[in-house]
Amino acid sequence: MDLDVLNMFVIAGGTLAIPILAFVASFLLWPSALIRIYYWYWRRALGMQVRYANYDDYQFCYSYRGRPGYRPSILMLHGFSAHKDMWLSIVKFLPKNLHLVCVDMPGHEGTTRSDLDDYSISGQAKRIHQFVECIRLNRRPFHLVGTSMGGNVAGVYAAQYPEDICSLTLICPAGLPSTTDSKFIKQLRELQESKCIDRIPLIPSTPEEMADMLKLCSYVRFKVPQQILQGLVDVRIPHNEFYRKLFLEIVDEKSRHSLHENMSKIKVPTQVIWGKQDQVLDVSGASVLASAIPDCHVYILENCGHSVVVERPRKTANLILEFLALLHSIDNNKKQA
């Protein structure tokens, strides 16, 4: 073989080997870095751009796609210990001409974390209102979506700032009393009795605990490699002290039933989506909301747990779009009447 041709193959092989070796090294040695790259790539692929907004000395981090148009903008509030990128699985199935905004909740990811901040549910709702005003999202009423803790905040927001929103989607929201204890609530009671409250199931610190949390939150059994579990834990460990403080704040008497206490003030059309096999927050909460909110549309998803956004992203996106289309149709009929 000609020496030049041989050199060309060696160079080409070396060029290909470098990214492959880098990937393998990242997977084995720094799985948390691989997870961050994964989210960065997914945001770019879906056209989501990351921006920052400041309210006095407080900084909000958010991602967005599209611009405000004739259809309502959509603001999405994630759950406890998550971040704005948890919505990417749903964003994938939403039209690109919709104006979407996903914000990091107070103290999470790129949004300011301060020991002096009020992390109660009403305190978080106030912060989200400041964010909305910062980016002038409330120039026209928008559709608000929240899941779990974010659902609790979204419901309280709808009650406290009714002029800002036109409709509401609550996905397995916290903040409701339940006649049936979920597996998670039972676990918490057992931990309290054994005085091991530091071992909160939603705050894993080992790959094994992360696997247990995924089983608790999902009906679908995802096969997650050990290295990825380690990466997920590595990303969370630096924040676990904050998560413990936040958790104790939102289960405190002040916040535990915030959504329930504000249900009567929610006057906008409301959609409730819940996984029937939710082991974190019992699905009976859906009927509590349906009986208290006049214009409430409830959807119970079979073979689905608490992580509705991850387990059933296409279905959830379609339900939100169908709900918005129904409201648009009703508005048009009223105008023509």
Mean pLDDT on 282-298: 95
**Lowest-pLDDT choice from 228-232, 242-246, 270-274, 323-327:** 228-232
- Predicted pLDDT of residue 195: 65
Provide the pairing of β-strand 49-55 with 296-301. Answer: unpaired
Q: Please give the full DSSP string across 237-291, using - where no structure is assigned.
A: GGGHHHHHHHHHHHTSTTTTTHHHHHGGG--S-EEEEEETT-SSS-TTHHHHHHH
The Cα 253–Cα 280 span in angstroms is: 19
Q: What is the pLDDT of residues 16-66, one digit of tens each?
A: 444 443 334 344 445 677 788 889 999 999 999 999 999 999 999 999 999
Which of the following is catalytic: 63, 73, 122, 148?
148
The C-alpha angle with vertex 134 and arms to 86 and 97, in degrees rounded to 5, equals 55
Sorting pLDDT into bands at 50, 70 and 90, what band is 188? confident
Q: Please give the full DSSP string across 235-249, using - where no structure is assigned.
A: HHGGGHHHHHHHHHH
Ranges assigned E (strand) in the chain: 49-55, 58-65, 74-77, 100-103, 142-147, 165-171, 270-275, 296-301
- Mean pLDDT across the chain: 89
- Predicted pLDDT of residue 337: 61
Residue 323 has pLDDT above 70, yes or no: yes
pLDDT > 90: percent of the chain: 74
Which of the following is catalytic: 85, 104, 164, 278?
278
* Residue 308 contacts residue 273 (beta carbons within 8 Å): yes
Which DSSP helix (H) or strand (E) runs through 41?
helix 31-46
Residue 8 has pLDDT above 60, yes or no: no
- Predicted pLDDT of residue 58: 97
- Answer yes or no: CATH 3.40.462.20 is held by domain 47-336: no
Q: List the chain domain ranges.
A: 47-336
- Predicted pLDDT of residue 31: 67
Does residue 306 carry a catalytic annotation? Answer: yes
Does residue 143 carry a catalytic annotation? Answer: no
Mean pLDDT on 286-293: 95
- Predicted pLDDT of residue 59: 98
Does residue 278 carry a catalytic annotation? Answer: yes
* Residue 39 contacts residue 33 (beta carbons within 8 Å): no
Nearest alpha-carbon partner for 64 in 84, 42, 39: 84
Mean pLDDT on 268-294: 96
The Cα 272–Cα 252 span in angstroms is: 24
Tokens encoding 315: 């279905």
Q: What is the pLDDT of residues 22-33, one digit of tens each?
A: 334 344 445 677
The Cα 293–Cα 310 span in angstroms is: 27
**Lowest-pLDDT choice from 201-210, 216-225, 255-264, 267-276:** 216-225
Tokens encoding 101: 């905004």
- Predicted pLDDT of residue 189: 84
- More confident: 6 or 246: 246
* Residue 70 contacts residue 44 (beta carbons within 8 Å): no
DSSP 218: -
Sorting pLDDT into bands at 50, 70 and 90, what band is 221? confident
- Predicted pLDDT of residue 197: 64
